Chains A and B, each alone.
Chain A
Amino acid sequence: MSSRTAKSASGVTIENLSLSFGQTEVLKGINLDIRPGELFTFLGPSGSGKSTLLRAISGFGPEPEGRILVGQDDVTYLPPWQRNVGMVFQSYALWPHMTVRRNVTFGLEEQKVPKSDIGARVNAALKLVGLEDLAERRPSQLSGGQQQRVALARTIVVEPRVLLLDEPLSNLDANLRVQMRREILELQRKLELTTIFVTHDQEEANTMSDRIAVLNDGIIQQVGMPLELYDRPTNRFVASFLGTANLIEGTIRKVRGKTVFSAPDGITVPAQGAGVKSGQDCTAMFRPQSLQISARGNRTSKGAVKLSGTVEHREFLGHLIRYAVRVGKQVLLVDETHSSGEAANNAGDKVVLSLNQKQVQFLQA
């Protein structure tokens, strides 16, 4: 089964796709190139258009403008039942009037697979998700995780060219979510099936994806590997949607022959080689863990930018302590890893923050 699927694995190409619900434009000129066999994630907050985009690929929802190609085939105007893109629904959508086996058999029957092949393929699919023993149960007699597996088996058994997963983990509790995450990933690797995964959870996206497209407001904000997106976001939205970010607005200037970023309240960071033109407004972005906190007067590492400030409050998060430190008019977040017993700074303490300039990104938007 896996070999057959691998051979037929197709990429998905989306060209200038726009889509509206009545007057509301939900997708605005989407372009994407999803490679055969990769696990690709649409990540975004609710209302960003990620589910609409997934539904457009499977042929549901209003007719879009632009083109959708699966492999070399233009499927834009095909009805859902002729696309052979397998979709796992958020609610699983298992038919309650059928047993697990009947659910999984359904697609093969609809696609006129010879009766002699159906039994073996259904058994193989059930085995793949570890549900051979529950084949005669009704969906209502299964746990959430088991229902999820049935939904997967039902979709995989027809050997779709692409697998679409619409927030598949959102109805599961936290522990099960982590487990199913691994199982889905394992299955995807085994079948080498091009998979598109929709989620609003950055942890899910980071742990599972080969590549991620971050969506907001119907527009693709950035496409890249998880690490790339975290370390080098290209705009404020991506920077703050993936993890916590300090964002300072300012301008790039030439000061004594050197290119520096300077904020109105005096924070200045060297910006050589940052690829931003002099005189331009931009935003400096750095993660809380890129700052080091130390009591004022202590020695700090050389070559780093020094910022003096006052601790406003702190939050204990277990593995780290997060300080909010006022520097001029800005409040910067600073993370300090925590291991037991170490003294922490208190609210009101005067501190010095040091920032390695290599950790700073300059965003044009």
Chain B
Amino acid sequence: MNIFARGQWGPATVALFLGLFLFVFLIVPVGKVIYVAFQDPNSGELTLINFIDFFNTSLFRESFINSFYVASMSVVLASVFALPLAYFTTRFNFGGAVLIQTLGIIPLIMPPFVGAVAMLLLFGENGSVNLILGEWFDINIPFMEGLNGVILVESIHYFPFILINLSAALNNIDRAMEESAQNLGSSGMRLFRRIVFPLAMPGYVAGASLVFLKVFDDLGTPLLLNINNMLAPQAYLRITSIGISDPMGYVISVILVAFSLLALWTSFLAIRGKDYATVQKGGGGLMKRGLRPMEKVGCYAVVIFILLLVLSPHLGLAILSFGTVWSYSVLPDAFTLDHYSYVFSTSSQFITNTLLYAGLAATIDVVFGTAIAYVVWRTKLAGRKWLDFIAMGAVAVPGVVIGIGYLRTFFDYNVPIIDKPLASWWVIIVIALAIRRLPYALRACVAALQQVSIILEEAAENLGASKRRTVSRIVVPLMSGGIVAGFVTSFATASVELSATIMLVSTESDAPLAFGIYEFMQSAAGRGPGAALGIIAVLIVGIATYLSHRFIERKETERAPDVAATAGV
């Protein structure tokens, strides 16, 4: 079809604008970073000398190995947390399965670095757990020692990715798949090993590679635990201490992007052509079976232990925010509300900034997400797939890389009127957040659009509605559940983002919550107020998530019978 065929003018203009936005704020900065990494710092010629320097420096080699080790071990530990929870709740008749699944996702609504300090106080060398262990058994386990601490904090934070994907995969296996194996004489662990797990494998790999990617790129947690010999902290430290022209920060950025792409590629390979997890006709979810009393006790013991562990950062943070002095003791000496009144009187700008930035970023994300989804799935514009592809590409770009790229690209560009470099204007933080969270919102919008049968649009057009009217009166209202889900995902994750913002915040008055928490947590005296801010962040995210769930639920019951029946035609 001709690119400017009838009715395509509107979408073409929108697509052009979206493409321009992505080009300026994603492709150019990332391209700049990659270009600089291959550029001789003195002569400006293209060269591999920076990479050779990188691998000739023992600190960088060590950082590389450490990052890889931490990411891999975090996947292992996260799997240990996620597997029993996913398996027990999908496979057995288990009281409180919904509660377990919900509690299992809570770790995601707090940035990992926020919990890190609380984890030090609970699991550190002189933390509550080791004090108790020392008293009772005279042992001290180095949970938080060096890289162990990063692994523990990261795996507790990111294991929900595996839990969600694996549970979904397990739930979607056609019941007949398992029954036919039983019919042929298979049961128990053999059945799980030969049929159930292989069928759930794509879901597991998708979750696991996401965990790897996230941990590999994370900046806040190692910084807060004072572990500097990893890749992301090195990139940050080089740029902030030596300067924007130091090539090592760029080399590390390229390596981070390469590994992120590798993780995504792995996940893509795992899922491609293996869409087993669709329930076939006449099937249902995995058959659930009852548990014998002893089995039940065992299952609950495992589940409660895991939940206590994964919720410990929140518990620790809550105690810290209400505690006076907490040092060399199992619990703080006394409890107080001082930290909260302190942050409200001195640091309320962190909260308002966060609501403003995350709110704006999430709005941009759902508007662009809806537009991209529509252009890609409902028009025939040439190159429309690229829009989707590039927007999703942001997943593979770590926050540090966006931060460095923006500093390098937009520092020379002065915004008119306010006469400040674009790189140090607060709006750039909003754009960085929007670009980084766009993939989440986009996936939610695409999923929502695919639920809307094209017949419903055709019916509107048949009755005389133009494309624009059809979109605003039929498509967007029907997508509203998905759009809200996308907004909340963007909002929640953007409001606790640190790795890009930490590089782009130019003055304290422009700083969001995550940055404020990070600043507070630097000193022992600031931990209390920092924790109070952390709890406020958790509450903001928690409330937003809860409200959206209620909204989506209501939408779904409203449109359940008729629209669902025609969905996916």
A90-B281, A97-B199 known; 17 new pairs, CB 8 Å cut-off, are A58-B179, A80-B182, A80-B183, A83-B183, A86-B183, A87-B180, A90-B282, A92-B280, A93-B174, A93-B177, A96-B276, A97-B201, A106-B181, A106-B184, A140-B273, A155-B184, A167-B282
Q: Is A273 interfacial (CB 8 A cutoff)?
A: no
Q: Is B187 interfacial (CB 8 A cutoff)?
A: yes
Asked whether A96 lies within 8 Å of B181 as measured between CB atoms, the reply is: no
What distance in Å separates the Cβ of A58 from its nearest Cβ neighbour in chain B? 6
Q: Is A207 interfacial (CB 8 A cutoff)?
A: no
Give every chain B residue within 8 A of A93 (Cβ-Cβ): 174, 176-177, 179-180, 280, 283
Asked whether B184 lies within 8 Å of A110 as measured between CB atoms, the reply is: yes
Q: CA separation between A106 and B178, bound complex, in Å?
A: 12
Give every chain A residue within 8 A of B283 (Cβ-Cβ): 91, 93
Q: Is A95 interfacial (CB 8 A cutoff)?
A: yes
Give every chain A residue within 8 A of B174 (Cβ-Cβ): 91, 93
Give residues of chain B (260-291) contacting chain A, Cβ–Cβ below 8 Å: 273-274, 276, 280-283, 287
| Contact code string B170-212 (vs A, CB < 8 Å = 1, else 0) | 0000101101111111110010001100110100000000000
What distance in Å separates the Cβ of A302 from its nearest Cβ neighbour in chain B? 55
Q: Is A12 interfacial (CB 8 A cutoff)?
A: no
Give every chain B residue within 8 A of A96 (Cβ-Cβ): 199, 274, 276
Given known contacts A90-B281, A106-B186, A110-B190, is B195 in contact with A95 (CB within 8 Å)?
yes
Give every chain B residue within 8 A of A107 (Cβ-Cβ): 184-186
Asked whether A154 lies within 8 Å of B184 as measured between CB atoms, the reply is: yes
Give the number of residue pairs across the A-B interface with Cβ within 8 Å.
Answer: 86
Q: CA separation between A141 and B185, bound complex, in Å?
A: 26
Asked whether A85 lies within 8 Å of B185 as measured between CB atoms, the reply is: no
Q: Which residue of A has the minimal Cβ distance to B279? A: A91
Asked whether A89 lies within 8 Å of B199 as measured between CB atoms, the reply is: no
Q: Is A77 interfacial (CB 8 A cutoff)?
A: no
Q: Which residue of B has the minimal Cβ distance to A88? A: B180
Q: CA separation between A54 and B508, bound complex, in Å?
A: 71
Interface of A is mostly: loop
Q: Is A111 interfacial (CB 8 A cutoff)?
A: yes
Asked whether B187 lies within 8 Å of A79 as measured between CB atoms, the reply is: yes
Q: Which residue of B has the minimal Cβ distance to A97? A: B198
Give every chain A residue within 8 A of B282 (Cβ-Cβ): 89-91, 166-167
Give every chain A residue within 8 A of B201 (Cβ-Cβ): 97
Given known contacts A96-B199, A96-B276, is B182 in contact with A171 (CB within 8 Å)?
no
Asked whether A89 lies within 8 Å of B184 as measured between CB atoms, the reply is: no
Give residues of chain A (57-100) contacting chain B, Cβ–Cβ below 8 Å: 58-60, 79-87, 89-93, 95-97
Asked whether B281 lies within 8 Å of A91 as measured between CB atoms, the reply is: yes
Q: Which residue of B has the minimal Cβ distance to A140? A: B273
Give every chain B residue within 8 A of A92 (Cβ-Cβ): 280
- The 7 lowest CB-CB distance pairs between A and B, nearest first, are A107-B184, A93-B176, A91-B280, A110-B185, A90-B282, A93-B180, A80-B182
Q: Is A158 interfacial (CB 8 A cutoff)?
A: yes
Q: Among the listed B183, B194, B198, B273, which residue makes an inter-chain contact with A81, where contact means beta carbons less than 8 Å apart?
A: B183
What distance in Å separates the Cβ of A277 from its nearest Cβ neighbour in chain B? 46
Give every chain B residue within 8 A of A59 (Cβ-Cβ): 182
Asked whether A81 lies within 8 Å of B185 as measured between CB atoms, the reply is: yes
Asked whether A81 lies within 8 Å of B177 as measured between CB atoms, the reply is: no
Q: CA separation between A111 and B181, bound complex, in Å?
A: 11
Give every chain A residue within 8 A of B273 (Cβ-Cβ): 140
Give every chain A residue within 8 A of B281 (Cβ-Cβ): 90-91, 171
Asked whether A80 lies within 8 Å of B190 as measured between CB atoms, the reply is: no
Q: CA separation between A209 and B287, bound complex, in Å?
A: 32
Q: Which residue of B has the minimal Cβ distance to A82? A: B185
Given known contacts A81-B185, A111-B185, is B276 in contact with A97 (CB within 8 Å)?
yes
